Structure 1
């Protein structure tokens, strides 16, 4: 949960916009230019496919989960189903990096990045109760989070607490930094975009940049 009300709303708007773009891609899985950031006349647009819609659906799920994590009511959502869901998501994107499923216009490092995002969500779900319990272990928020996740939150020792906070901080820095290549790709494609698939690619890269930056800010805020 994010403590700052202003930051909650900023992240909620950002993740909601990302979810809406994902819904757009699910409904209209139009051809999209490769997200290489270097469009040429030889680039072939990637046609719409079931893999495109599956990718978009995963991003909708991720965005919705991040919105929930911003607010106290999100702590009441059971953690186990979410862990299973994001583990499956990580497997899906790892499969994309090995070309086991059809191409979706992303490069391998981009699919690997999405797999890391899914694994980071698993980490947040499992580590959050311990991190929150460093305050009042009997507080209402911690109690609700413990009930929702099915994990009994007990006060960790200082070394464990510091270690968890460091991992959150490192993941936060990682996601903020990885938003920059996405943003660069969006700008590069946007400057040269002449066709609808190219504009779709620019919007897609912008969405991923916003998602990465939002996740980074959230991890830093929690740490």
Structure 2
């Protein structure tokens, strides 16, 4: 999905850090059941994003993960509405719901056939046309799409404009979220101990995940 090898590794490391934090928190800390499920969903998301950054990962089926993360978004909405007891808790769970919805959207775009008006026609070097359901370099719903480096002569000419608009919104939104989480990390450190606590590490990992999401959506523009 990401052609540049250095950027691919940056995204992988960002989500690997997030995945490690989620896994350690699940194993070490005691949680309310809803919190444990939430950490598990974030672990799944981080692993999925790290895998998606690589050509083989981007070529995997997309419909199943799209449905899973759509359900995850609904879960966080339910937690925000029915479980969270504070405004801060509702806002955080709402943010998590948005992140899961972004994951679902990403898989839908990669699929190439689910979103309204989304399809493509590939123009080969000889001027011929062949049907093609997804983006070059993105995995199709049946897992048979080829990575971008293998279809460099192809040209996608039919992506609806609204997809780029939404991808821009995701890019900017997650970039802003990354800045917020970094600010919150340093603000918390200034207000309390300089030691790295689990809560501080979790905040830093939220910044890493948001930055990774912003990068991947920027690549899709």
* Alignment counterpart, residue 148 of structure 1, candidates 138, 142, 146: 142
Given that 2:111 and 2:141 are in contact with CA atoms closer than 8 Å, whether structure 1 keeps it comes out as no
User: After the TM superposition, which residues 190-201 of structure 1 pair with which residues of structure 2 at under 5 Å, given as runs?
Assistant: 190-194=189-193, 199-201=197-199
Instruction: Give the structure 2 partner of residue 211 of structure 1.
Output: 209
Cα pair distance change 1:87/1:149, threshold 3 Å: farther
TM-score (norm 1): 0.76
In 1, Cα distance between equivalents of 2:138 and 2:194: 50
Partner of 1:23: 23
Following TM superposition, by how much is the alpha carbon of 1:222 offset from its aligned partner in structure 2, in angstroms? 1.2
TM-aligned CA distance change 1:204 to 1:72, over 3 Å? same
Q: Is 2:48 aligned against 1:65?
A: yes
TM-aligned CA distance change 1:65 to 1:166, over 3 Å: same
Would the alpha carbon gap of residues 77 and 104 (structure 1) be closer, same or farther in structure 2, given more than 3 Å must change?
A: farther
Structure 2 residue matching 1:146: 3-state secondary structure: coil
Cα 1:214–1:134 change in 2 (3 A) is farther
Q: Report how far residue 119 of structure 1 moved.
A: 0.8
Instruction: Indicate the larger mover: 141-150 or 62-71.
Output: 141-150
1:95 Cα deviation (Å)? 1.4
Contact 1:190 1:199 in 2 (8 A): no
**2:148 aligned partner:** none
Q: Is the 8 A contact 2:69 2:101 kept in 1?
A: yes
Match of 1:186 in 2: 185
Once the 2 structures are TM-superposed, how far is the Cα of residue 173 of structure 1 from its aligned partner? Answer: 0.8
Does 2:80 correspond to 1:97?
yes
Q: TM-score, normalised by structure 2?
A: 0.77
Measured in 1, the distance between the counterparts of 2:137 and 2:208 equals 32
Displacement of 1:96 in angstroms is 2.1
The offset of 1:113, in angstroms, is 1.1
Q: Does structure 2 retain, via aligned residues, the 8 Å contact 1:172–1:219?
A: yes
Q: Is the counterpart of residue 114 in structure 1 residue 112 in structure 2?
A: no
Deviations 1:48-101 (CA, angstroms, capped at 9, x unpaired): 322222121111101011112111111332222212210121011111221x23
**What pairs with 1:28-47 in structure 2 (closer than 5 Å)?**
28-30=28-30
